[in-house]
Amino acid sequence: MFVKNAWYIAAMADEVGRTLKQRWILDEPVVMYRTADGKPVALYDVCPHRSMPLSKGELLGDQLRCGYHGLVFAPDGRCTHIPAQTHIAPSWCVKSYRLVEKWRWLWIWMGDPKSADESLIPDFHWNEDPDWIPTGGHFEIGCHYQLLVDNLLDLSHLAFVHRTTIGTDAVAENPATVSREGDAVRIVRSMPSCPAPPLYAKLIGYSGEIDRSQDIVFTPPSQVVITSRSVPKGSNEADKILEYRVLNGITPGTKSTCHHFWAVSRNCVPDPQVTKLFHEGSVRAFSEDVTVLETQQTMLDRMAGRIAWMHYNADGGGNAARVIVDKLLKREAAGATERAAMS
């Protein structure tokens, strides 16, 4: 079960062009491409005729032709050509999804089209802001998307999973405070007088202790923005501040896979070499997460029905997020029941 009435990142903007790209999203196969004038298109990737993935076909101008029997579909999903036949019933169509380009990502809406309000796209502007220097990427991970949300909302794991890049004991041993703001969850951790993690020393030349803080905002169903701020202990000199945002757009792939679209964006140290180090350090750290998350999912799968999680303070953020997602799922299920009753 996934929240459907929500915007999810479907792709990085430059991943989709004039070839057909398939990606599983919310347990549905989706084919994406751009029309000749660059408009992004997303269709259900199953030909209604004999279930061939449309992504195995080809573009005819702005339309998509199935590679098996040659049916042609327009960007809105209507079938526009059936070989050797002139009549095309209106029911001959595939689902089309709203696909919107914003902040250098393509955002998809797979729920009720009437509710697809672009103003609800999460504020990830730091990925496309002249004052910020972003770098980012995409991982497909073999785990349920909520395991990755849990991971990002409890950064105490930095001390153990990422100790060679961004983690120190201080991240685990300083408790975080959790607050709820509407359907958002905010987790704040302050780490005064702690050692700089290995990557920071490399990035900005920190030696000695730093004052560090993390400010994490979750918005449902699965967006997480992390603001990380560090200064030399007790200092406040502008050129010594290391501040960055980690933007995480997490999109369910299937029941046991998810997509992690990430960007790390900073407004300081405008050195391309630092951007490179940021990118490499992030890829290395996120790859450590991938290993952990896929190991965790494998154990959950193997022990299906024999697992009961225990909770402690540090789970406050992740558990609050799950409560909100459960509420949205119930609301959507109730709406579906109501619509069924009225029809």
| Binding-site ranges for a second copy (CB under 8 A) | 29, 46, 48-53, 56-57, 65-70, 82-85, 91-92, 150, 154, 156-157, 159-161, 172-176, 292, 295-296, 299-300, 302-303, 307-315
Q: Between residues 221 and 316, which has the closer beta carbon with respect to a second copy?
A: 316
Residues 6 and 208: their CA atoms lie apart, in Å, by 44
Q: How far is the CB of 209 from a second copy (least distance, A)?
A: 19
Q: Between residues 36 and 308, which has the closer beta carbon with respect to a second copy?
A: 308
**Taking a C-beta distance cutoff of 8 angstroms, is the pair 226, 214 a contact?**
yes
**Taking a C-beta distance cutoff of 8 angstroms, is the pair 249, 261 a contact?**
yes
**Taking a C-beta distance cutoff of 8 angstroms, is the pair 340, 175 a contact?**
no
Q: Between residues 29 and 142, which has the closer beta carbon with respect to a second copy?
A: 29
Q: How far is the CB of 285 from a second copy (least distance, A)?
A: 14
Q: Between residues 179 and 313, which has the closer beta carbon with respect to a second copy?
A: 313
Q: Between residues 81 and 240, which has the closer beta carbon with respect to a second copy?
A: 81
Half-sphere exposure of 28 (CA within 13 A, CB side): 22
Q: Between residues 28 and 332, which has the closer beta carbon with respect to a second copy?
A: 28
Q: How far is the CB of 39 from a second copy (least distance, A)?
A: 26
Q: How far is the CB of 189 from a second copy (least distance, A)?
A: 9
Q: Between residues 308 and 342, which has the closer beta carbon with respect to a second copy?
A: 308
Q: How far is the CB of 107 from a second copy (least distance, A)?
A: 24
The residues, any chain, with a CB within 8 Å of residue 159's CB and separated by 6 or more, are 167, 168, 169, 170, 171, 172, 173
Q: How far is the CB of 97 from a second copy (least distance, A)?
A: 16
Q: Is the dihedral of CA 237, 193, 223, 14 positive or negative?
A: positive
Q: Between residues 160 and 330, which has the closer beta carbon with respect to a second copy?
A: 160
Q: How far is the CB of 96 from a second copy (least distance, A)?
A: 16
Q: What is the DSSP letter of 82?
A: B
Q: How far is the CB of 169 from a second copy (least distance, A)?
A: 8
Q: Between residues 12 and 88, which has the closer beta carbon with respect to a second copy?
A: 88
Where would I find the H helices in the chain? 145-153, 158-161, 169-173, 198-204, 272-302, 316-342
Helix-helix angle 145-153:272-302, to 10 degrees: 120
Measuring CA to CA, how many Å separate 42 from each of 30, 154, 249, 304? 6, 34, 18, 34
| Amino acid at site 286 | F
Q: What is the DSSP letter of 235?
A: -
Residues 330 and 141: their CA atoms lie apart, in Å, by 26
Q: How far is the CB of 118 from a second copy (least distance, A)?
A: 29
Assigned token pair, 83: 């070989």
The residues, any chain, with a CB within 8 Å of residue 291's CB and separated by 6 or more, are none
Closest Cα to residue 71, out of 106, 98, 97, 43?
Answer: 43
Place of tokens 């797979």: 110
Rg (CA), the chain: 22
